[in-house]
Amino acid sequence: QHIVILISGTGSNMAAIVQAAERERWAERLSARVTAVISNRPQAPGLALARDAGLATHVVDHQAYASREAFDAALGDAIEQHAPALVVLAGFMRILTPGFVARFDGRLINIHPSLLPAFTGLHTHQRAIDMGCRFAGATVHRVTAELDHGDILDQAVVPVLPGDSAATLGARVLSQEHLLYPRAIAAWLQEQGG
């Protein structure tokens, strides 16, 4: 089962997934491996991390396409080259068209830095602090055409501490994302009979 990971930036979740796959021997245990990493930003630091890990990388630059539909078609073609069983959005910061979501229906998952269904969209940590939340976290969910909706596959919870800023809370959540995402993917692969 091939896994393709889509990124836009740092790629720390991507790196955590690649490391877990190695450490937990997904190739032997789940017949699964990360095949490629695709970024919509040519300068994404995560691309270098992926290359260092020996993975195929591609850039599909959204700025080179006149419409979301054209970008999504090119992105989808780049993904399909690898015939993935699972497409993992890991800090991929583009809204995907319903056509793209339908093309990868049932094999598209995302991580979002909040306890969904609370705080869809951006600035999740500041919004959780502003609302006085005592807990924050991250959610792995199936991707549907509606942003940050879709069935929840797994979540991680962290406390919001007195004096937290969006940066300190975000770092606490991100460190849990690095455990959560590999765990959710391994469970998904296992469920597929891997």
| 3-class DSSP assignment, residue 137 | strand
| Position closest to ligand GRF via CB | 91
Q: Which of 2, 58, 62, 112 is catalytic?
A: 112
168 binds ligand GRF (CB under 6 A): no
Q: Which of 48, 99, 47 is nearest to 71 (CA)?
A: 99
For residues 77 and 60, the answer to whether their CB atoms sit within 8 Å is no
x/- mask, ligand GRF, residues 58-97, rule CB under 6 A, reads --------------------------------xx------
Judge whether 141 counts as a catalytic residue: no
Q: Which residue in 102, 89, 108, 101 sits closest to 37, CA to CA?
A: 89
- Listed in sequence order, the DSSP H helices in 53-163 are 68-80, 98-103, 124-130
* Binding residue for ligand GRF, selected from 3, 5, 13, 37, defined by CB under 6 A: 13
Residues 135-154 that bind ligand GRF (CB under 6 A): 138
Cα dihedral 140, 145, 77, 50, rounded to 10, equals: -20
By the rule CB under 6 A, 126 interacts with ligand GRF: no
Segment interacting with ligand GRF (CB under 6 A) among 107-115, 142-150, 153-161, 185-193: 107-115
Residues tagged in the binding site annotation: 11-13, 68, 93-96, 110
Q: CB within 8 A of 97, min separation 6: which ones? A: 68, 69, 72, 145
The residues that touch ligand GRF, with contacts defined as CB under 6 A, are: 7, 9-13, 46, 90-91, 111-113, 138, 174, 177
